[in-house]
């Protein structure tokens, strides 16, 4: 394969949901030995927390599932001076409809709408449409988001693995 399949997870501030999704996905990718085929990153649609590490409450909830949250928050880029995240990634996963709408508004020519999906589209057991923002809630909310993202990331990885096998076969 010429280049790895590139995933970008996006939420509002890039300190709770999207870095959790990125690190859960990396954890699952390593378990399946696919780290040379799939690469992950995360970003926020806002600039609130640029440079900040993942929220410590989110990190504590992830640690209970054996997942370490790494990274520093950055803002989603859409061209101009920097390279566009729209162009750099094969699939962009929004944690909720607001994040998705915010990114699609930046895509003025509507060139990349097919790349932007909702994370919960890949859930296998949860019926949620969006990943709730746990920022202002209690510990249970953070744990729920980790469980939800483990489910969605597993479904997403199954989907990508199937796609990669089909590409290899052709």
Confidence class for position 19, pLDDT limits 50, 70, 90: very high
Confidence of residue 170 (pLDDT cuts 50, 70, 90): confident
Instruction: Identify the band that residue 1 occupies on the pLDDT scale cut at 50, 70 and 90.
Output: very low
Quickly count: other Cβ atoms within 10 Å of residue 168's Cβ.
Answer: 9
With H, G, I as helix, E, B as strand and everything else as coil, classify residue 113. Answer: helix
Confidence of residue 14 (pLDDT cuts 50, 70, 90): very high
Catalytic: which of 41, 96, 133, 151?
Answer: 133
Considering the candidates 17, 57, 100, 143, report the single residue annotated as catalytic.
17
- 57 among known catalytic residues: no
Torsion of CA 86, 158, 101, 131, to 10 degrees: -130
Q: Calculate the CA dihedral of residues 112, 154, 96, 17 and round it to 10 degrees.
A: -110
Residue 99: pLDDT over 80: yes
Please write the tens of the pLDDT for every residue from 40-56: 999 999 999 999 999 99
Q: Is 133 a catalytic residue?
A: yes
Which residues are CB-contacts of 7 (< 8 A; sequence separation ≥ 6)?
A: 22, 25, 38, 39, 40, 41, 89, 90, 91, 92, 93, 156, 160
- CA–CA separation, 11 and 22 (whole Å): 11
Which of helix, strand or coil describes residue 117?
strand
Instruction: Kindly report the average pLDDT of the chain as a whole number.
Output: 95
Catalytic entry in 11, 40, 123, 153:
11
Q: pLDDT at residue 80 above 90?
A: no
């Amino acid at each position: 394969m010429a280049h790895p399949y590139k995933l970008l997870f996006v939420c509002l501030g890039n300190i709770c949901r999207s870095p959790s999704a990125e690190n859960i996905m990396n954890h699952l990718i390593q378990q399946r030995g696919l780290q040379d085929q799939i690469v992950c990153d995360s970003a926020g649609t806002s600039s609130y927390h640029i440079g900040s590490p993942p929220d410590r409450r989110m990190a504590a909830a992830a640690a209970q599932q054996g997942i370490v949250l790494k990274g520093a928050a950055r803002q989603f880029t859409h061209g101009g001076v920097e390279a566009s995240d729209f162009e750099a990634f094969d699939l962009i996963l929004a944690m909720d409809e607001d994040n998705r709408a915010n990114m699609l508004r930046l895509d003025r020519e509507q060139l990349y709408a097919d790349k932007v999906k909702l994370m919960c589209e890949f859930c296998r057991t949860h019926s949620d449409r969006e990943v709730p923002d746990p920022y202002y809630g209690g510990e249970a909310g953070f744990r729920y988001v980790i469980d939800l993202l483990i489910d969605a990331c597993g479904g997403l990885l199954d989907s990508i693995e199937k796609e990669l096998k089909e590409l290899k076969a052709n």
